[in-house]
Amino acid sequence: MSGVIRHVTISGRVQGVGYRAWVHSEATSRGLEGWVRNRRDGSVEAVLSGPEDTVSEMIAACRRGPSSARVDGVQADAGTSDLLNLRGAGERFAFLPTL
């Protein structure tokens, strides 16, 4: 896929509130590729890939999250194709196991 890859970490009350499902739904509806997972430290981690403007819009949406979440911070860094390829073969956007 052409475009950008961003590695995003979201902190706050983002586990147990449907945040991962929300990221999956929002990213899929925007036509993005990538994955999302919980981290043992209580954060949510995602890799988003697609057109730069669409990825930027998704990162902005992550700062709000679903209504049941409380987002304290969003860290967005450049991602790599190696990170993107942690998803299963043939998956556009995946849920990965907690790390």
Active site residues: 20, 38
Return the beta strands (E) in the chain as ranges.
4-13, 33-38, 44-50, 70-78, 93-95
Of the candidates 98, 99, 43, which has an alpha carbon nearest to the alpha carbon of residue 76?
Answer: 43
3-state secondary structure at position 80:
coil
Helix (H) or strand (E) holding 28, with range, is helix 19-29
